[in-house]
Amino acid sequence: MKKKIGHLNKGFTLIEVSVTMAILGLVLAAIYGVYNLSHKAYATEENMVEITQNGRVIFERLSREIRQATELVTELPVSEDLATSTIMFEDGHVADPYYYIRYFQEGDLVKREVVGFYFSGDPEETLVPWDAVPPIGQSLVLKTVQVAQTIGECVDQLKFWGSELVSVALNLEKKDNNLRLRTDISGRNF
Amino acid sequence: MNNFQQRGVVVVIAFLALGILLLLSAYLLSFTTVESKTASSQAVSVKTYYLAEAGINEAIWRLKNDQVWEDEFVTEPLCQTWQASFTRNYLDNTTTTVSITNSQCARGEIVATSTVSLAGGKTAQRVVKVKVLKSLGSLTEDSPVFAGAPSGESTIQASVMDVYRGNIFINNNFNIKLWSEVSAYDNPATVDIREGRALVAGNNTVSWGSVLNAEGICAKNICQTTSTCACADLEKFEECSQDACPPKSFSMPTIDFDSEDAASYKSRATTAQLQGQCSIVGKNAGGVTVLTSTDCIFSDSEFEDLLWRVGQGGRLILEHKTNGSTVSIYYVEGGIDLEGGRILEINGVLLADGTVNIGEKSQWKGDSGLNQLTVVDPGIGFPSGILTKSKINFGFYAAFQDINITGLIYSQDEIRIVSVPRTFEVVGGIIARKFSLTSAWSHLNIYLDNDIIREGVWGGPTPPGGSRPPYSPVVTVEHWEESY
């Protein structure tokens, strides 16, 4: 019994402990490596999902509104090199005319606002076309009908150009993850 | 016991590793599920949109090709409230319902609703609404420049003429010379019809450094068509076939100037005068009103007197008036001479039995100056323009200023335009037996407007007593909108 206790108290040799620790360390390092890699992949994937979803939302809403727009106000450049980052067109969905929707980039956000125009001498601020000529002595005043709201984020660049078709390019970016989307939209009402 | 303890380490490590793997797979599962749901929702949304669009296109196709739809859409009187619908069922619980409701003849709204049934009793839906119409066929084969004489040649020299959205139709020979440039452009809005053609029943001669730019040239001596030649009106012109040139001859549309019929222009002018629906205001060069008149019908000397009284630099304004049933129509039983620095503004339509000279002469009994003619279209359903049984001449002293005419310029004889050093713009059309232009290379811009031509020839939105021309085969999409 004493011998047995003695044997039990004997403990591990230094070599045994060292070897065990070394093996354990290697195994844990390997597990950590796999975990770290997976976590990074997960984070990248999560970023991609986020920017993809932002891209989808922006394109979905923009495409639908341009398709049904009644008039394109922004004069778009023909080539992509001269593309603009903002677009304004007349809303084709509301029953009342002369509501103008504007999409623009502000920082890494794409925003949408609705504006209207009226003559400075009109106290009722009746909306008129964007190119209406005001009576002598008056001017055309812009008023915000719906304040700018964020439609999508993580936007690196938003570009509009085209002649018959409206071409849109959208570059999204989040923590070194990039997504480039582009589409051509055919306005059905102009 | 020692061995047992050492095996325990392996168990711990195995559990640790399995735990981490479980965690990772849970991560993976979570974002895969979310992404998969988003992606399928996106896919369904795209699917519903395209199905709705397909439904709209099928309805438009039926309006063009399905005999029943084609007839019922335009046949009076039932077409005014005509309705129809159809449903398409696809695999995967997908349905598109399309309905059309007319608001008036040849004009209606198509609504296409597509639905996809999803798991859990949910549905995805998209609605596309489109307003469509068929316009009336053209009286001049979509030509804003229509020279209808089977004899006599039309000549363009030392000029630049641009014809937009329509064709040039010449019923005899067409000569372009002295470094002239004549262009005709297609109307991009009418995809099914290729306008911008030169249709010449006789020979087309382009000489002396001149150019004719057109989508197609169809004459006795030339048959040029573009490779994209759209043969929507093949039955009429057969221009895509080399053997079919020149185009068939068309007689010019006739106007009822002064028959006994109550619908003739003169009878209507008489009625308008009785009902006090005419108003003429004359202003002198300083803008002061010097005369007013409520007459609609004038002899040539009476009309000349009005022009004389406004004085040099004065403006004679023929105003537009209507009481709903009668509209102002001004009729001169003779010729009109615009000379001595006068401005004539026609809001609506002015008719003359004799020759209309605009700026043929500078001098008029001591007055002198440039003369200007402006025609304003009072709106849909009302005629506008200057119409004569005889000739119309735009002379040298109508030049040096912008001339804007939104209306029909119609002559039962010849229209001659000489010297246009400033822009001359016509929205509507020019119809004559013969047409000649010498503009000193200034631009004569002519934009086709079939409605203005019809209203001018008929005197209103419908023909007087006669039958209207058939509707155009083209279905125009007027408005498109989407909702969910």
Considering only CA atoms, which of B443, B396, B442, B405 is closest in space to residue B427? B405
H or E element that contains B358? strand B356-358
Chain B hits for A8, Cβ within 8 Å: 1
By DSSP bridging, strand A71-72 and strand A86-90 are: antiparallel
Residues B77-110 pLDDT 10s:
888 899 999 999 998 889 999 999 999 888 999 9
Residue B39's pLDDT is what? 85
Mean pLDDT of B452-477: 83
Domain locations along chain B: 2-137+474-483, 145-458
Angle between helices B67-74 and B2-65 (to 10 degrees): 60
- Is pLDDT at B5 greater than 60 in this prediction? no
Distance (Å) from the alpha carbon of B105 to chain A's nearest alpha carbon: 22
H or E element that contains B36? helix B2-65
Note whether A164 contacts B9, CB cutoff 8 Å.
Answer: no
Task: Select from A53, A68, A70 the Cβ nearest to the Cβ of B482.
Answer: A68
Note whether B24 contacts A35, CB cutoff 8 Å.
Answer: yes
Residue B114's pLDDT is what? 96
Q: Taking a contact as any Cβ pair under 8 Å apart, which residues of chain A between 75 and 94 contact chain B?
A: 92-93
B159 within 8 A of B440, measured Cβ to Cβ: yes
Residue B231's pLDDT is what? 37
B249 within 8 A of B150, measured Cβ to Cβ: yes
Mean pLDDT of A104-121: 94
Domain locations along chain A: 48-185
Residue recorded with tokens 């793997």: B21
DSSP tag of B80: G
Report the number of secondary-structure helices (H) and strands (E) in chain B: 6, 33
Residues B203-252 pLDDT 10s:
889 988 999 998 888 887 777 765 334 333 444 444 445 445 677 777 88
Q: Does A96 touch chain B (CB under 8 A)?
A: no
Q: What is the pLDDT confidence band of residue A183, given thresholds at 50, 70 and 90?
A: very high
Residue B431's pLDDT is what? 94
Residues A169-179 pLDDT 10s:
999 999 989 99
Interface test with B, best of A4, A8, A188 (most B CBs within 10 A): A188
What backbone phi and psi angles, to 5 degrees, belong to B8?
-60, -35
Residue B272's pLDDT is what? 94
Q: What is the pLDDT confidence band of residue B348, given thresholds at 50, 70 and 90?
A: very high
Mean pLDDT of A75-85: 92
Residues A3-62 pLDDT 10s:
455 555 677 889 989 998 999 899 889 988 988 988 888 888 889 989 999 999 999 999
Plot region of A175 (φ>0 → left; ψ -120 to 50 → alpha; else → beta): left
ipTM of the prediction: 0.75
Distance (Å) from the alpha carbon of B130 to chain A's nearest alpha carbon: 10
How far apart are alpha carbons B301 and B473 in whole angstroms?
48
Residues B26-55 pLDDT 10s:
888 987 888 888 888 888 999 999 999 999
Plot region of B465 (φ>0 → left; ψ -120 to 50 → alpha; else → beta): left
- Is pLDDT at B378 greater than 90 in this prediction? yes
Average pLDDT, chain B: 87
Note whether A31 contacts B24, CB cutoff 8 Å.
Answer: no
